[in-house]
Chains A and B, each alone.
Chain A
Amino acid sequence: AQSVTQLGSHVSVSEGALVLLRCNYSSSVPPYLFWYVQYPNQGLQLLLKYTTGATLVKGINGFEAEFKKSETSFHLTKPSAHMSDAAEYFCAVSATSGTYKYIFGTGTRLKVLA
């Protein structure tokens, strides 16, 4: 069984500040991990994914995430927030075999302050 916990349903940062969105997962098998972004009235767009290999994963729009097995975490970071980063972010976990269905976290709404 798998689950995802996103700490903080709302996060506010100032423009230019570090963005840190937290995600912890639980999985009985080695996981695939994903971050998605959703802008208002749009679908979800893949930011980055961890499947195997390098634990520091770089994605689009300057985001990156680090897979830490010992901490069961996959936190999303961006060094400098931009106004256009305001959106909702979802962490997801899937098994590495079988149906590959994703279990999503409840989402974190990021607000960027001018």
Chain B
Amino acid sequence: DSGVTQTPKHLITATGQRVTLRCSPRSGDLSVYWYQQSLDQGLQFLIHYYNGEERAKGNILERFSAQQFPDLHSELNLSSLELGDSALYFCASSQPGYGYTFGSGTRLTVV
């Protein structure tokens, strides 16, 4: 157990739907990062939150949004889902310079 908890582990949904992925960071970590891992794109940085504030955006589609709550857990919302959104979604938490700790990921399948 890495200390970073992601739920659900698997999600199957239809095109056009909306889903929410949840991440609880390791105790004491203020930063949460979201990544998308797909076969053709590799590991792509989506967004970074630090203590509730958005700090950086990467290749995140406008259909995707995220937030970090006061208890530091984060949610990634994916809407108007397309087949191409099928991927593994990872969150990671960190303290600066100490390296990310990754969750085990949510495997999203859009059918």
Contacts and interface: CB of A to CB of B under 8 A. Distances in A.
Interface of A: 32, 34, 36, 42-46, 49, 51, 90, 96, 98-107
Contacts of B101: 46
Contacts of B56: 98-99, 101
Nearest to A104: B43
A30 to B, nearest CB: 12
B84 interface: no
A49 B98 CA distance: 8
Interface residues of B, number: 26
B45 interface: yes
A30 B68 CA distance: 29
A106 B67 CA distance: 27
Interface of B: 2, 4, 31, 33, 35, 42-43, 45, 48, 50, 55-56, 58, 90, 92, 94, 96-105
A32 B2 contact: no
A106 B103 CA distance: 19
Contacts of B103: 43
Nearest to A48: B99
A46 B3 CA distance: 13
Given A34-B100, A44-B102, 8 more contacts: A43-B90, A45-B102, A96-B97, A99-B48, A99-B50, A101-B33, A101-B45, A107-B42
Given A51-B97, A101-B33, A101-B48, A106 B42 contact: yes
